[in-house]
């Protein structure tokens, strides 16, 4: 009998914790409303994620995209934007991952060391490029067609 009472109390407490730990919006950037710009001085990035949710255990970031995803995977630049959102959302708690919402599907992206390293590499390329030093490129007709450096200093398009 004592064991039954103990298990009942434990189950009630566990169910209470689950519902009490429901996601709460801690940050939202909607059109027409003011949302503060989040900063991370260590990574030297600033930005405004679309949505940051928090429950008792972790934080989730959401980015809404206006386009559609033609593939079964999200676009690389959208993944990097979400990864930057992970870093900015860390001030609210531990970030496990987030969602990219396209018009036709959504993707869950985990906050991994590999994702963060890719973002760190891109930020390093940006710093190097600002100094005027050469950076590694993967030229293609599609990317080079709209590039502003195509006629000025690029050696790949010639």
Cα dihedral 24, 68, 106, 48, rounded to 10, equals -30
Per-residue tokens: 121: 């590499």
pTM of the predicted model as reported, rounded to 2 decimal places: 0.76
pLDDT tens-digit map of 135-147: 777 777 777 777 7
Give Cα 89 to chain centroid, integer Å. Answer: 9
Q: What percent of the chain has pLDDT over 90?
A: 46
Supply 62's token pair: 């959401």
């Amino acid at each position: 009998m004592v064991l039954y009472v103990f298990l009942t109390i434990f189950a009630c407490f566990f169910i209470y914790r689950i519902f009490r730990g429901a996601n709460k919006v801690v940050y939202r950037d909607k059109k027409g409303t003011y949302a503060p710009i989040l900063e991370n001085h260590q990574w030297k990035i600033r930005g405004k994620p679309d949505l940051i949710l928090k429950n008792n255990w972790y934080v989730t970031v959401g980015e809404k995209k206006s386009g559609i995803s033609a593939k079964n995977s999200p676009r690389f630049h959208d993944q990097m934007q979400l990864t930057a959102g992970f870093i900015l959302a860390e001030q609210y708690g531990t970030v496990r991952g987030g969602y990219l919402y396209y018009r036709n599907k959504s993707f869950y992206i985990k906050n991994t060391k590999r994702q963060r390293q890719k973002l760190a590499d891109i930020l390093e390329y940006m710093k190097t490029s600002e100094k005027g030093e050469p950076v590694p490129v993967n030229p293609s007709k599609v990317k080079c067609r709209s590039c502003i450096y195509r006629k000025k200093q690029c050696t790949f398009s010639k």
